[in-house]
A and B are shown apart, each in its own frame.
Chain A
Amino acid sequence: MRELTYKDALHEALDQIMAEDDRVFLLGEDIGVYGGAFGVTGDLQEKYGKDRVVDTPISEAAITGACVGAALTGMHPVGEIMFSDFVTLSMEQLVLQASRIRFMFGGKATVPMVLRLPGGSGTGASGQHSGSYESWFIHVPGLKVVMPSTPYDAKGLLLAAIEDPNPVMFFEHKLLYRTKGPVPEEMYTIPIGKSQVVREGKDLTIIATSVMVMRSLEAAQKLAEEGIEVEIIDPRTLNPLDMEPIIASIIKTGKALVVHEAVKTGGFGAEVAGRIVESEAFAYLDAPIRRLAGLDMPIPYNRNLEYHAVPQVENIVEESRKIVQGVY
């Protein structure tokens, strides 16, 4: 199959859906001539004009609210928040409006909007441009939270998100934009709310998100050299969360490790661990469920500190080894 970068896969998804569906339009800061801070929208303004690829002033609350209003009236807006950190300025419109308008209006309104959110550390962007905020939004009923880790998933999930009648928070990762992988040329969707086993193994189940899927796969190779076979599951959608493959896997391996970049306390890992404990997999566990996550701190500027603030391949190897060998 043809290979594309994660960034180009997203671009292609936007391009194809815009050609087909004139309800879809894009809204955000510097997404036109500049092509987006990370180049995702690229040439789309040239192609579809300024009415459908709308450059906004620096006004995140209004960008988000504009998506809500347009969605309420039949459009399918895709907003871009330049760095996911700035979604903190969109909170009211997301949490108190977008997420619950449908419910409060007795199920009679729909808000089919997508907010694209480039996040994560590893680029030296320091404390206000490097965060991972996905777990804030899994706490908000009415919002869906999607976090693709491959170009294939990026395209398919973005198209599914745009099609979805609900507000979808679409978390991209800056370090993934340049990664390459097979992507079909035609349009396709990947169902929201479907976890995927990305590597099979018998000794340990790793549940990883976003860039941590890539790091876990690398760790798995190293572990395989030591005779440890890990199974890796990428939930891809954090809410609604598909636990089925996770439970099935733990019943097989008896051990679980959740890996994410966002800080540990109150993170997605806690939710996964909680659901495992509540499930039939609990009886099959022969070791505590472990979480590897970002330290409970903002991302530091210094390159070395930044590196140590979030899980790296060697941390995943070490933690997996400990769990499998029963020493921690």
Chain B
Amino acid sequence: MEKEKLLEGELTPKDAKHLLYLMVLTRAFEENAEEMYALGKVHGTMHLSIGQEAIAAGASSAITRDDYLLNTHRGHGHFLAWGGDLNRMMAEFLGKENGYCRGRGGSMHIADIESNNLGANGIVGGNLPIAVGVGLSIKIRKTNQVVLTLFGDGAANEGAFHESLNMASIWNLPIIYLCENNLYAMSTPFDQAFKIEEISQRAVAYGIKGVTVDGNDVFAVHQAVREAAERARYGNGPTLIEAITYRWRGHSKSDRQAYRTREEVKEWMEKDPIPRFAKKIGVSDKEMEEIQERVKIDIQKAVEFAENSPEPDVSTILEGVYA
């Protein structure tokens, strides 16, 4: 057999194909989520990352599962890329007892503490101060881990952003701040909320490294996160990475999208990260069809699993408020 050639950023072809599968899976999960919502099977809201799948694939593959993840409200892709089980994720989405959070959290709060996945967060910027604590704990415990902390462009304008980056920088904490700049925070366009060109410029204010990368390019994200992880593990502190991308869908279920044009959305849909990555790693149309087929079956099975899962018992309602 031909020796596996290393691809850019030291992903093996096998890794790369798995990442492609995860991207297709994320998209299918979210398209299915939309459908279920339309059918009235889901209560609540959800935030879809369709169009942004490259960031999760690139980032999670650049660190280990001994590291930590702090996720956002738009975090389905990161959850899956971290290795989340599709069935239990779907069950959580439907609010079932054997979902990851026993149906208590839902899409916006999905977590898997056992695998160092410290959860999605419904509060914009809510995970940024927590990252400091995780970083500090790693430093005190001397475990050589890092924490991947995700947030959106909007979150960068919460006061918590400043407090968190400053502390992390003065204490050289092993934190990778990965900002998914999808050019909008709900209806607010980037240039209405920032007077700088790039969010990564803010790194200067904290004396840390800041980079902006193409967030629709798996390799670019992977490379940046890898370098940041290396810096962090060598005690060289945090990095601020900005990955530019675009959300194809509305902010949440109830968004008329009056703040942007259809042309703009269309333009970005042409920069679809999935076929782009497939092409780059040399996956043929036929192989792509196979992946799609596999994903379809996986989703079907997960829906079945979730729908057949028990509802939480009302008598257990107070469980988990206190330890």
Contacts and interface: CB of A to CB of B under 8 A. Distances in A.
A304 B315 CA distance: 11
Contacts of A62: 159
A302 interface: yes
A322 B294 CA distance: 58
B103 A86 contact: no
Contact of A302 (B159, B187, B192, B312): B312
Given A30-B188, A301-B109, A305-B314, A59 B157 contact: yes
Contacts of A128: 108-109, 121-123, 126
A300 B317 contact: yes
Nearest to B124: A58
B188 A308 contact: no
A57 B109 contact: no
A165 interface: no
A240 interface: no
**Which one of B121, B123, B311, B318 has the greatest number of beta carbons of chain A within 10 Å?**
B123
Nearest to B186: A30
B105 A127 contact: yes
Contact of A34 (B43, B105, B159, B187): B187
A57 B321 contact: no
A301 B95 CA distance: 6
B238 interface: no
A213 interface: no
B317 A297 contact: yes
Given A86-B123, A296-B321, A301-B44, A58 B185 contact: yes
Nearest to B152: A58
Given A34-B258, A57-B188, A128-B108, A309 B317 contact: yes
Contacts of B123: 85-86, 128
A37 to B, nearest CB: 8
Given A296-B318, A305-B314, A308-B317, 12 more contacts: A33-B258, A57-B185, A58-B124, A85-B123, A127-B104, A297-B321, A301-B43, A302-B104, A304-B314, A305-B104, A306-B43, A309-B317
